[in-house]
Amino acid sequence: MFAFDNSYARLPARFYTRMAPTKVAAPELIALNAPLATELGLNVDALRAAADVFAGNQVPDGAEPLAQLYAGHQFGGWSPQLGDGRAILLGEHVAGDRRVDVQLKGSGPTPYSRRGDGRAALGPVIREYIVSEAMHALGVPTTRALAVASTGETVLRETGPLPGGVLTRIAASHIRVGTFQVFAARDDADALQHLLDHAIARHAPDAEGPMGLLRHVMQAQARLIAQWMGFGFVHGVMNTDNMTISGETIDYGPCAFLEAYHPDTVFSSIDQHGRYAWKNQPDIGLWNLAQLATALLPLMGERTEAVAEATEVLEGFRDLYATAWTEVMTAKIGVPDMQLAMELLAIMAEGQGDFTNTFRALTIAPETARDQVLNRDRFDDWLLRWKAANPDHAAMTRANPAIIPRNHRVEEAIDAAYTGDFAPFHALNAVLDDPWQETEANAPYRSPATAQERVLRTFCGT
């Protein structure tokens, strides 16, 4: 079924715990991502008949299932041991020159579960499927969703019992900043060296040593976060265990897209101080990268010199980010003038205009963007100067989607799934697959939530 070659399982035994997923009562396949399967050279028909594999009841040939160890800073506080508490890495599927992790999420308890049950409710699994695939369609590096299985079991959450689900996640790897941190915290330089070599081979073959990897991850994360910002994406839980070395977005928990633009927007119910607000994401990115640098220090030679050099390298992040952000925003307004772009954001922040629809209006029928802002005089003045700058319409069309996964639509798909109706989930996935044009099919998905529909708070729900 998969062409496994499991390089992570060849790393030292203290990197993971070998174990199979826990079997569930009644596996059923809810969704299979056929285009992704095809892209990975997999047999779609065989996968369609493999609910047992996607629910964790059958370990496919060649898999060497394991739960990965990692640590991390959660909301700034150090957690010395996290790890896959509800996930099992089946192995690495190799297709041509591409190597991807195949991971089951929601597949039962592991030694890293702490107080959790190792399970996932169907809702968060569906959310991750929808949003990660939408991010991919938008061109944002991300882990992918290959399949959703229901378990026929219920999991107990704050709101009561919910149907359980398992997500099959595909990722360039699941190596996190927190994977380096756990070995640094244990003074295990030998493990760090193994992990460094492994990460460089997989993600940055041209990088030299720890400083080379650090630079590589900085560049990837600067680009990634700039893209998030440009689509109004709020990750919601940018802990160091949720930041990849590959530069892919990972762990779609309480994430959400801005509707009304305000830079301070926070959705996550557990983010009480707004640490992971939309506007803070670049700074948090740098903070996390500083933790990566700290973890790599033992491999960087003489300590004083290493600290000085790492600090200097980290200071480069602001420029890397500024370059990436400028690229994103100047494409969004079609004019290579960052001041003009920032002025538009300031005008938008004054009103309750919709982030996605303001930029899309500007792309398709510029005058109508006026309806999205409060200070119309200021906008009219801006629009005159913008027009005079001869905006590049084609660039704008590629940078400003017609649709994003609006939070109330994601909730609607989840609510229906809980009643056994997966039609809204499939319909939403179908329209999000082509976010770049207005179509009849996506018209209902382009409107912001009404006051009643608005989702103010999001939950990890795991």
Min CB(242)–ligand AMP separation in Å: 5
**Do the beta carbons of residue 392 and residue 334 sit within 8 Å?**
yes
Residue 84 binds ligand AMP (CB under 6 A): yes
Contacts of 74-82 with CB under 8 Å at 24 or more apart are 74/239, 74/241, 75/239, 75/270, 75/271, 75/275, 76/275, 79/241, 80/182, 80/185, 81/112, 81/182, 82/112, 82/178, 82/182, 82/241
Instruction: Give whichever of 107 and 442 is closer to ligand AMP, judged by the CB atom.
Output: 107
Min CB(269)–ligand AMP separation in Å: 13
If you search the block for the tokens 């957690």, which residue do you land on?
79
Please compute Rg for the chain using Cα positions: 22
From residue 211 to residue 240, the character string flagging contacts with ligand AMP as x (rule: CB under 6 A) and all else as - is --------------------------x---
Shortest-Cβ-distance residue relative to Mg ion: 251
Q: Find all residues with CB under 8 Å of 241, minimum gap 6, and list them.
A: 70, 71, 72, 73, 74, 79, 82, 176, 177, 178
Q: Which stretch binds ligand AMP (CB under 6 A): 80-88, 129-137, 217-225, 263-271?
A: 80-88
Among 27, 165, 247, 253, binds ligand AMP (CB under 6 A): 253
Residue 246 binds Mg ion (CB under 5 A): no
Q: Which stretch binds Mg ion (CB under 5 A): 208-216, 225-233, 243-251, 284-292?
A: 243-251
Among 21, 56, 60, 118, binds ligand AMP (CB under 6 A): 118
Among 251, 259, 271, 343, binds ligand AMP (CB under 6 A): 251
Residue 251 binds Mg ion (CB under 5 A): yes
Cα separations in angstroms, 223 against 198, 296, 378 = 23, 22, 31
**Do the beta carbons of residue 242 and residue 288 sit within 8 Å?**
no
Could you tell me the end-to-end alpha-carbon distance of the chain, in angstroms, rounded to an integer? 29
Query: Any idea which residues carry the catalytic annotation?
Result: 241
Q: Which of 302, 289, 262 is nearest to 278 (CA)?
A: 262
Residue 242 binds ligand AMP (CB under 6 A): yes
Residue 101 binds Mg ion (CB under 5 A): no
- Cross-strand bridge partners of residue 256: 234
CA distance 87 to 385: 52
Min CB(251)–Mg ion separation in Å: 4
Residue 82 binds ligand AMP (CB under 6 A): yes
CA distance 301 to 297: 8
Min CB(239)–Mg ion separation in Å: 7
Q: Which stretch binds ligand AMP (CB under 6 A): 37-45, 84-92, 257-265, 384-392?
A: 84-92
Q: Which does 116 bind (CB under 5 to 8 A by kind): ligand AMP, Mg ion, none?
A: ligand AMP
Residue 462 binds ligand AMP (CB under 6 A): yes
The strand pair at 144-157 and 160-171 is best described as antiparallel
Residue 242 binds Mg ion (CB under 5 A): yes
Q: Which does 357 bind (CB under 5 to 8 A by kind): Mg ion, ligand AMP, none?
A: none
Q: Which of 365, 322, 356 is nearest to 342 (CA)?
A: 322
Min CB(251)–ligand AMP separation in Å: 5
Q: Which residues bind Mg ion (CB under 5 A)?
A: 242, 251
Q: Which residues bind ligand AMP (CB under 6 A)?
A: 82-86, 112-113, 116-119, 237, 241-242, 251, 253, 460, 462
